[in-house]
Amino acid sequence: MNVKSAGDVDFAKRGGVIPVIVQDRRTKDVLTLVYANKEALENTIRTGNAWFWSTSRNKLWMKGEESGNVQPVHEILVDCDSDALLYIVDSEKPMCHTGERTCFHNVLK
C-alpha cells in the first residue's frame, strides 16, 4: 500500500470538494457518501473525528457536533486518482441524520 499525504489529494478537479465514502471498520457497512474540502480533511486528520463540507449549507461541519453521533476516524484511504476518500470509522452511533445507522437504508424499486 502506498502512503500519501493530505497535500497529494486533488481538490481542484471538482471545484474544491471531493467525495468521501464513510465505512464502518467492524461491520464494513457503507454508512454515507459526503463531501470534504481541504479544511475538512485537515480537521479530520488533526482531531481524529470525521469532518465534512456541506454542499447544501455551504459550511464546514463535524459529524456529531449537534447530534452527539461523533464518528472517530480509524484510517483514511485515498483512491488511485487522489480525488476521492474513504474514511474507515469506529461507528457506535447512527450516521444518518434520520437516526438510521446508515444513510443507505432505502431500497429503490
Q: In the chain, what percentage of residues exceed pLDDT 70?
A: 96
Residue ranges and CATH numbers for the domains of the chain are: 6-89 (3.10.20.810)
Query: pLDDT digit string (tens) for 55-77?
Result: 999 999 999 888 888 999 999 99
pLDDT digits (tens, 9 = 90+) for 42-60: 999 999 999 999 999 999 9
Distance CA 46, CA 37 (A): 14
User: Percentage of the chain surpassing pLDDT 90?
Assistant: 76
